Amino acid sequence: MSLLTVVVPCYNEEEAIPFFYEEMLKTIEVFNKDFPSVEFEMLFIDDGSKDKTLKVLREYNEKDKRVRYVSFSRNFGKEAGIYAGLDNAKGDYVVIMDADLQDPPSLLPEMFKAVTEEGFDSAATRRVTRKGEPVIRSFFARMFYKLMARISKTEIVDGARDYRIMTRQMVNAILSMGEYNRFTKGIYGWVGFETKWFEYENVERVAGETKWSFWKLFMYSIEGVIGFSTAPLVISSFFGILCMLLAFVMIVFIIIRKLIYGDPTSGWPSLVCIIMLIGGMQLSCIGIVGEYLAKTYLETKHRPIYIAKEIR
Ligand code: UDP
Ligand code: MG
């Protein structure tokens, strides 16, 4: 017998959970035809929901002993939800799935086969289309992945979902990365292991609405850059040096011109422009350094990644 844990991060998903649960029951039935010796555990993470998510989870937990849940004391974000799920999962294999059925459960048997019979440590999914998503969002998402491919040594796959099945060994590897500023897409790449990729077309959520505003996604992408690349620091030093060289050349030019032609140095507007330019550059570079410092500061506090209020 082996146990498969399905981790489901939920934030205000009272409408989606019933659909999810019904779909899971069907999936388990189909699944057990191929793999009769696999038992299921559904582990819902209530990420400090403000609607009746917790109440719904309590009900399912009462009537189905395969349903467990962890309820946070407040909203800690999906990253914390995933961590808590992996942390509390008892399974030999763990799969992470969204509550909104955007991660098609029909792929599960294939993914399971990859980690049990084909010798992979993990099977993950990526969307090949972004249908139904705002155009600007897709554009920035694409840019982000292109940028990361250039500036980070860690492999971060374009369109990768959090929908992924992993062996116990890989789960433990991820849990050993106890950083507070979590960017799971990078963490998967960092821990390594063999991953089989499944591709599928984007599916729209079954009920409720997306929890990610453009701003939230933007901040999340900064998390990714700062967490998995130090290139911005190098770039800012590079700019600094470039400006210094340029200034040096200009000084020499002005001195020589003065000696030869005796021109008074004219034009304070150009001077103001240069001061503005250099000042702006300095501030933005300090900002970049500050960003890393802030993350370091938060890490050194060793705050817990999540606080559970109720575990059943
Ligand atoms: N989620 C979460 N905490 C949050 C935001 C989202 O646990 O702070 C969960 C959410 O309930 C869902 C999953 O993460 O199961 C993905 O969120 P969503 O569907 O809103 O994102 P999208 O699919 O639009 O990227
Ligand atoms: Mg979704």
227 touches ligand 1 (CB under 6 Å): no
Q: What angle do CA 203, 208, 211 make, to 5 degrees?
A: 85
pLDDT given for residue 201 in this prediction: 79
Neighbours of 171 (CB within 10 A): 23
Four-point Cα dihedral 287, 290, 295, 300, nearest 10: -170
Q: Give, using CA atoms, the residue closest to atom 12 of ligand 1.
A: 98
Where is 291: in which H helix or E strand? Answer: helix 268-300
* Order of strands, sheet of 2-10, starting from the edge strand that comes earlier in the sequence: 195-200, 122-127, 160-167, 93-96, 2-10, 38-46, 67-72, 308-311
In angstroms, rounded to a whole number, what is the distance separating the alpha carbons of residues 176 and 170? 10
pLDDT given for residue 155 in this prediction: 79
Ligand 1 centroid–CA 25 distance in Å is 22
Instruction: Select from 75, 131, 211, 219 the residue to mutate for testing ligand 1; criterion: most ligand atoms less than 8 Å from CB.
Output: 211
In angstroms, rounded to a whole number, what is the distance separating the alpha carbons of residues 225 and 186? 9
Mean residue pLDDT across the chain: 86
pLDDT band at 279 (very low <50, low <70, confident <90, very high): confident
The minimum-distance atom of ligand 1 relative to the CA of 12 is 11
- Is 198 in a helix, a strand, or coil? strand
pLDDT band at 80 (very low <50, low <70, confident <90, very high): very high
Q: Give, using CA atoms, the residue closest to atom 23 of ligand 1.
A: 210
pLDDT given for residue 263 in this prediction: 67
- Is 11 in a helix, a strand, or coil? coil
The two tokens of residue 6 are: 């399905």
Contact 2, 39 (CB under 8 A): yes
Q: Give, using CA atoms, the residue closest to atom 21 of ligand 1.
A: 210
Region 91-95: mean pLDDT is: 93
pLDDT in tens, 228-278: 888 888 888 888 888 888 887 888 888 788 788 876 666 766 787 788 778
Reply yes or no on whether the pLDDT at 149 is more than 90: no
pLDDT in tens, 31-59: 888 888 899 999 999 998 998 999 999 99
162 touches ligand 1 (CB under 6 Å): no
Contact 86, 47 (CB under 8 A): no
Reply yes or no on whether the pLDDT at 211 is more than 80: no
Measuring CA to CA, which residue among 195, 164, 163, 185 is closest to residue 229? 185
Region 287-311: mean pLDDT is: 87
pLDDT given for residue 153 in this prediction: 79
Reply yes or no on whether the pLDDT at 183 is more than 90: no
* Ligand of minimum distance to the alpha carbon of 209: 1
102 touches ligand 1 (CB under 6 Å): yes
Ligand 2 centroid–CA 223 distance in Å is 20
